[in-house]
Amino acid sequence: MSAGSTPDDREEDELPNPSTGARRIAPAVARNRDPILDLLRRILPRSGLVLEVASGTGEHVAYFAARLPDLVWQPSDPSAEARASIAAWKAAEGRANICPPLYLDASADDWPIRHADAMLCVNMLHISPWSATLGLMRGAGRLLAEGAPLFLYGPFRRADAPTAPSNEAFDADLRRRDTAWGLRDLEAVSACAASNGLRLEQVAQMPANNLSLIFRRVADAA
C-alpha cells in the first residue's frame, strides 16, 4: 500500500486465504461493512431483489444477506476468480437468499438481468474506466422502477470540498497503474446518473475519506 493512500479502496487488499479455499478476503470489508449496512437498512425495500454490481470477493453480499434476510441478493462480477470467491462465500454461509453470481460487465449494454428492486456498487468506479460508470448508470436506468435506490460507495472528488491528501495520493497511484482509473468527480457521476433518470438523494460521509451516494430512479418524462 502506498504511503498516505486510503485503506478501504485498495483492490490489492484482496488476499487468498489457504484456510478458506476459493474464498478471498479483503480487509477493507471489515472496516466498511457496518457503516454501509447502516445506510442500506434505511434505503432498501423490505423485500425484493438487490443486484450488486462488481461484488469482488463476495464478502459484502454474504454479510448483508445474513443481516437483511428478507431480501434476495444477486451478486455479479466480470472476473472468473471473483465469481469463484463469491460462490465459495455463498456455499460457506449457506444462505438461500444469495443467488449464484452472474457474469456482468458494467460497461456493456446487454446485462444478464432485466429487473432489480435496488442496486449496490461498492468501490468500483475508481478502479474501472469511465465507460463502466456510464454503463452502470444506463443499467440502473433500465432495471430500476420509479423510487428504487442505487447505492454507491467509494472515494470521490467534489467541487464543494477539498480532496483529502490521502485521496490525492491514492488517485495519483491509481493513475500511474492505469490511466483509465482514478477518483471520479461527484458532480460528473451525478450528471451521468441524471441523464439516465436517477436523482442524487443523499451524500453521506463514510470512513477513510469515502462517500456513499444514494440515487433514486425518478419517473420517466412524459
Contacts (Cβ under 8 Å, ≥6 apart) of 60: 29, 33, 36, 52, 120, 122
Confidence of residue 1 (pLDDT cuts 50, 70, 90): very low
In a domain? residue 194: yes
In a domain? residue 1: no
**Helix (H, G, I), strand (E, B), or coil: what is residue 76?**
strand
Q: What's the CATH code of the domain at 27?
A: 3.40.50.150
Spatial distance between the Cα atoms of 37 and 40, rounded to a whole number of angstroms: 5
In a domain? residue 2: no
Residue 145, pLDDT > 60, answer: yes
Residue 10, pLDDT > 70, answer: no
Which of 137, 166, 164 shows the shortest CA–CA distance to 152? 137
Domain count, the chain: 1
In a domain? residue 196: yes
Domain that holds residue 213: 7-217
> What pLDDT does 9 receive?
47
pLDDT tens digits, one per residue of 146-190: 999 999 999 999 999 999 999 999 999 999 999 999 999 999 999
Residue 91, pLDDT > 80, answer: yes
> What pLDDT does 17 receive?
56
In a domain? residue 222: no
In a domain? residue 155: yes
